[in-house]
Amino acid sequence: MEIAGKMIAAVFHKSSSGGGDIKLEEIDEPIITKKDQVKIRVMACGICGTDLKIASGAHPANDNIILGHEFAGIIEEVGQDIRDLQIGDKVAVDPNEYCGYCTYCRSGYTNLCEYMATGTTFGIFQHGGFAKHCVLPRNALFKLPREFNMTKAALVEPLSCAMHCHNLADVKESDIVAIIGAGPMGLIIESVIKTHPIKKLISIETDDWRREKALELGADHAINPLTQDVGEEIFNLTGGNGADVIIDAVGASETLEMATKIWSYGARVVCFGQDTRAETLLRPNEIVRYQRKILGSYIYNSKDILDAIDLIGSGRLDTSKLITKEIKLENLLLEGFQIMKEKKCVKIIVKP
């Protein structure tokens, strides 16, 4: 029987009043208990806005769970049934555990898995990557090339979300793209879109730092909706036609409403940001008459993960502009979360 060592981990403790505390604690190292499991040494884990929402009560999570769902590592140990992975292999983690047999999984929509909807995500409902070690099922792991940079590997999960959004939007070289919201995910989506030629990319963002970052990452124009008339600016920049692709990376009532005021004929609007409180009035004839589409983009599927791995590994995406800072796990609470709250970063990568 294996004897577990000790490790430091960021553990969420739920409060009865909602939200809770995240504490750095010394706990037992996880051990393999099933034949299809793999134990990894976590090399890097990104901080997500969801981690902050969990602490505030704006996102559900299980009690006494190690947070961190954007992570990658190196295999330390494999279960008896593992044949295709070896100790020392580099892997990226898909933190969303799918059943594989519900109607949606078998229809190719694993991101809509009925079982996953009950709460299965590693780093939210099961132990995740803000720790030195993690035990995961084989189907959660994607093998990486031997030369893959492990700090960059922590970007695979958020990049997969961006790839899914990009692919649903069906972005073409002749398109004018508008992205509403230049938070971390809005900026990552922008970076993915800019890996291939498009006619023009316009960022719409209220925060000065984020607008500047959007321009640095390749946006052709950045609009401040607090001081500028978004509709007037968009139609001036598009010859009066509007944007062909609009990505709402915020998900608020007013941002989807904004999207439906700046869309061209035949436009695709992709709703990416989430807010369960958001409500918007739509005019169906404006969609039918001008053949517009409104799509939802929720996390990703396996092909999006493979695309994200290739995008990083090939060097086509400049990840240096997406990684704002690397920190040690012991600095997660006082430094990492503080930087996130100041909203002057894209990705903070934690090294356990």
pLDDT for the residue 18: 84
The ranges of the chain with pLDDT < 50 are: 1
pLDDT for the residue 17: 84
* β-bridge pairing 141-143 and 176-180: unpaired
pLDDT for the residue 164: 98
Which domains does the chain show, CATH number per domain? 6-155+322-351 (3.90.180.10), 160-296 (3.40.50.720)
* Cα–Cα dist 177/189, whole Å: 11
Residue 32 to residues 1, 73, 162, Cα–Cα distance (Å): 10, 16, 32
Helix, strand, coil tally for the chain in percent (to 5): 30, 30, 40
| pLDDT one-digit tens code per residue, 87-110 | 999 999 999 999 999 999 999 999
pLDDT for the residue 4: 66
Helix (H, G, I), strand (E, B) or coil at 163: helix
